[in-house]
A and B are shown apart, each in its own frame.
Chain A
């Protein structure tokens, strides 16, 4: 107890909503009142374990308190920080065993994770650039700008095997190279932080907890591609993220990481924030560009790709938040290190937002290729209430459902596509035996249908027709032939739509048709919902809603 300790109060969006702002203030006041000079109270961004919030961690011991409210503050300060007795009742309790787990790294949820992208999340104060630097921050930028040519940076990223974390998984190094090779008087790089998937909050968490990681990645991307201006396109519903990016940009500028002649390298770079209006489709890169240009966010056909003709018609590189946050470690620790993580075709780690019928929900970062079962049972702690796993839906609203019968499916780009789903932005919804798969398909489609930008006919109208059929099925009003029609529409919408939204939104339908066709048939032929969820088809014994 003689060493200096830091109490980190989580000030991520999730914890703040449990009142952790007041906890933070109260802790500071209490520590001051008791005159504990060896204790510093500070805050962090999201730990990714929001349902346990408010989270308070005491470092370097690694004590991890959960569900902390303002009433717990006197005890934490009095008993633990002053008296040396950690407060056991605030420890994390393993839902499977019921045991109290005092330390961060002993918790199953964290134990099996490998944090590259989230490396600093929950460990540093995002509003203090020094803490980022003390964790090795901006070393990669120095190396890139002062020791490497842009071509070498691109080569390193190419060799690392890094692929875009925004959904499509395009190799990042190659994307940069296209832009590098394009001839133009101006070029741009854009960080895509639109994150329109409902339930997704990985990008927000990274920006709130470790904004410098993204900024460092963005500057490096600018250097590599030859752009002198970067945009961070962030949804306006993320005010905290916007605030922290602003602060981070200011600090970075003060330290000479931004502006003219960065670190004496002769490279100039500026970053602008653009707040998006919040349409899902604005995350699509061409729609995003339109939106930055002040037009309605609607996609346009590619080619030309943004790397050829993007913002203001200039070569533009667009990368996801997590892609950019992966860049500094690659530059610093090398492509060889990075490419040891993951599978031959999908390198590095992926961040998943685990939710649904699962004991531990939250943000999970694992190496690419980690089997679904590891994620669900080891990290997620399994299904609550002793229910059976039925399916896992990955990739956000456009993802497919993977049935429980293939639980060892490795989570990487190729395999997920092969089984009819996508990596997408990393959403992962766990479903138990009480879930009606027809309803699941209907639910996701109702989202994409409403979010279709309306530009192209197959997506705008096809999703509507599918939705109508699905609604009929869940109401027991469908006919056998509707299934064929549904399949045909889904296939054609996928084939004919303009952008990724339309091309992927039939996935929930197609994958459930593929793996759970009998459930559809039961609704249609027997007027029965096997999971007994559909209101119109409830068995008499069921409770009324």
Chain B
């Protein structure tokens, strides 16, 4: 075959694909060539010179990590001359490596140590000098001791690959070292704390702060799991010693985890975790036995239901729970409490959009994966998606580096804006109009060919909508829209729209999906991110009022589920989460699982008031959250990593996790099973439950078998109301470090990385000057919804006229529109607290 190459390595014949490096070809026949600077997944650099080999007819020694194989090449990897050269290089490296292996945390996994051993270096040939650099441990997660650095440059390359690109070599000669620009501390240098650099460092130069003194690699057991934060659900390995997490690593050294995945495990191990049930007695929450708490919960809910009817009780769940827990929860509410009042946080975080995309694209097949982004030719990136699903950014950057044309739609002058070929600087709230105008231009270029081929419905309405949107001022220049249209209309380029379902308005999401339909991009063309890990799963498991598991509609499927569950079910359609929490809802007894509505739901202030009026509130969570503090019964919740279970991630793939951590409490499924058995029947064993789920929802719904029903979605093209005078518009904007669930962020130390611990309002420099407010000033922020005090943060990446606050925090939720938290609202920022 033309693209295979046969060569000889150490007298062994090897056949490998063209373009393979000699180092890899050797590996293919089991010959391990030592290497320090080369790291799988990173570009070669040829710096360390350890991988030197001899190649016949080639002058001098050659670095095998970069040399490509050639036919008839004859390679020797282990002659005395080579060993001599390698030994020499290692000895030189040791001359600037003042570490003491005996007490080094990396002992046992340090490559320098390993090769010194393999090459039989018994004592240093050169005097060992200590460069005397100060050790940097001034941040919560990473310790940098460049005295131990061998300048392999892996950290620099991985930091570039993952998209932060804040490290480089500085100075020359013996003084060369790795540094951020101007030697700024990591926090100030724009570090993402992804920890990738720690993951690839072959020596003790970079280590996780938390692992210091906690043992060596050989003492750790690596347990595969998935990150429980965002919908990417990245694969990770808990490194465990005696039941404690020592650190988190990845499959391959250069694999990506964001700060939450790599360092944000503190919430799992926090001593603030709830382990005993609490029961309100004499106005106070006091520890109680499981039996007492469960009995009280079941009987109280039952009583409320008996007294006020099926609409008076309900349940609301978060979307960070496993499919099993979600399923058990809704079954408990529907079959146990016999009401359809079961809903989840999705109600406030893009449920409508998820649903419309699912119907239009026919599910899984339509969704793009992270690798689809990395391999795309043209990307339309919308809003703050790269912060909600941090793994996205590295893929966007990689695509851009490979020549992909990036169109960025958003007001924020951050990373995507910087790599974008076209930056559509829409004013907040006009994103959907920009997309409509973009569609109009694309339509001019492509006509309706794809629409006809795919028989996309509602074309006429769509075209009418485009005409209506024409000419509305949005902040994006016409020329830019035309330029973007040319990129998006290129039918040869693999195109992907990248957005977060919970980070855009419904209108924007629809308009984006329409752009896919218009250009015939219906396969792997929509990256529909979500802040919460199991948004897709929770919904598929039926934790939304309208549908049972597997999207079976209420009440149509009531009969079927009555039979399946052998239980009588309510025919009455249930209330949504916002209906349940509204002022005049009939709900009097509520079970809240893994969610903190008093903080994380928009309009949280009023919601808290409403919760106080309940006859009975039961909360099951990891921590004593704001909401839990109002409860009558608080039950400890297990974390998915402690029980195992499945998620459906953003790519619509099943992420099956084993039990990775020792349980701190009963599994959520067990607890719900107990509650269930107090009412009628039970859930069976966890195994039986899983089998039940998989019969009803094959493969957890990850393989959608519905046929796509492509039809353009209606987009409201009305002009947004103009902000009066000097008021700003406030946008809830995802935090770089913190997470949707504030207690997780807090107990994992993520908030420490945020300005003012994540409690701030950000404005542009222009507005700060205009309002005469300096960085750090105590300010009040007022909208039609409410008023809060916070600190002012000047963010030069913001345009004038726009203020942002971290999305999903209590203060932000008190200010945004409860029905449309992603719509900008008018805001006044003034001095004082």
Contacts and interface: CB of A to CB of B under 8 A. Distances in A.
Contacts of B176: 452-455, 460
B92 A458 contact: yes
A452 B173 CA distance: 5
A496 B49 CA distance: 7
A454 B151 contact: yes
Interface in A249-307: 279, 281, 296, 298, 300-301, 303
Contact of A460 (B44, B46, B52, B151): B151
A510 to B, nearest CB: 16
B85 A456 contact: no
B773 to A, nearest CB: 37
Given A301-B66, A455-B47, A457-B49, A450 B172 contact: yes
Nearest to A450: B173
Interface string B129-152: 000000000000000000000110
Nearest to A498: B46
Interface residues of B, number: 36
A246 to B, nearest CB: 29
A455 B85 contact: no
A243 B88 CA distance: 47
Interface residues of A, number: 32
A465 B151 contact: no
Contacts of B125: 485
Contacts of B126: 465
Given A460-B151, A461-B92, A496-B61, A454 B49 contact: no
Nearest to B44: A301
Given A298-B169, A454-B173, A460-B151, A498 B49 contact: yes
A495 B85 contact: yes
A464 B48 CA distance: 16
A497 B85 CA distance: 11
A59 interface: no
Contacts of B153: 455
B172 A457 contact: no
A462 interface: yes
B158 interface: no
B173 A496 contact: no
B48 A456 contact: yes
B172 A454 contact: yes
A301 B48 CA distance: 11
Nearest to B60: A495
A451 interface: yes
Interface in B92-135: 92-93, 95-96, 125-127
Given A301-B66, A496-B88, A461 B172 contact: no
Interface in B539-579: none
Interface string B69-88: 00000000000000011001
B173 A301 contact: no
A281 to B, nearest CB: 8
A450 B169 CA distance: 15
A465 B128 CA distance: 11
Instruction: Decide if the interface of chain B is mainly helix, strand, loop or mixed.
Output: loop
A449 interface: yes
A461 B95 contact: yes
Contacts of A114: none
A200 B61 CA distance: 31
B166 to A, nearest CB: 14
B89 interface: yes
B173 A457 contact: no
Contacts of A301: 44, 46, 63, 66-67
B45 interface: yes
Interface string A440-484: 000000000111111111101111110010000000000000000
Nearest to A300: B46
Contact of A463 (B47, B61, B173): B173
A485 B127 CA distance: 13
Contact of B151 (A451, A455, A485): A455
B686 interface: no
Interface in B11-52: 44-49, 52
B93 A461 contact: yes
A451 B172 CA distance: 6
A111 to B, nearest CB: 41
Contacts of B93: 457, 461
B44, B89, B92, B127: which has the most chain A beta carbons within 10 Å? B92
Contacts of B63: 301, 498
Contacts of B85: 492, 495-496
B172 A458 contact: no
Instruction: Decide if the interface of chain A is mainly helix, strand, loop or mixed.
Output: helix
A101 B709 CA distance: 98
B46 to A, nearest CB: 4
B1 interface: no
A451 to B, nearest CB: 6
Contacts of A457: 47-49, 89, 92-93, 150-151
Given A296-B168, A492-B85, A456 B47 contact: yes
A454 B96 CA distance: 13
Contacts of B84: 492
Contacts of B49: 456-458, 496-498
Nearest to B172: A454
A451 B95 contact: no
Contacts of A460: 151, 173-174, 176
A225 B290 CA distance: 82
B364 to A, nearest CB: 37
B426 to A, nearest CB: 30
B169 A464 contact: no
Nearest to A485: B125
A452 B169 CA distance: 12
B171 interface: yes
Interface in B299-327: none
Nearest to B46: A301
B95 A455 contact: no
B87 to A, nearest CB: 10
B150 A454 contact: no
A457 B94 CA distance: 10
Nearest to B50: A457
Interface in B647-681: none
A124 B48 CA distance: 50
Given A458-B89, A492-B85, A496-B61, A465 B172 contact: no
Contacts of A462: 88, 92
Nearest to B90: A457
Given A455-B169, A457-B47, A498-B47, A464 B89 contact: no
A281 B172 CA distance: 10
Contact of A454 (B46, B89, B95, B169): B169
Contacts of B45: 300, 455
B173 A449 contact: yes
Interface string A301-319: 1010000000000000000
A253 B727 CA distance: 54
A300 B171 CA distance: 18
A451 B173 contact: yes
Contacts of B66: 301
A143 B88 CA distance: 55
A527 to B, nearest CB: 21
A458 B46 contact: no
Contacts of A452: 172-174, 176
Given A301-B46, A464-B174, A495-B60, 14 more contacts: A300-B46, A303-B67, A450-B172, A452-B172, A454-B177, A455-B153, A456-B48, A456-B49, A457-B89, A461-B93, A464-B95, A465-B95, A488-B88, A498-B46
15 contacts: A300-B46, A301-B46, A303-B68, A449-B173, A449-B174, A454-B175, A454-B176, A456-B47, A456-B48, A457-B49, A457-B93, A457-B151, A464-B173, A465-B126, A496-B49
Interface of A: 279, 281, 296, 298, 300-301, 303, 449-458, 460-465, 468, 485, 488-489, 492, 495-498
List 9 tightest A-B contacts by C-beta distance, closest first.
A454-B176, A301-B46, A461-B92, A450-B173, A464-B174, A492-B88, A452-B173, A455-B47, A496-B49
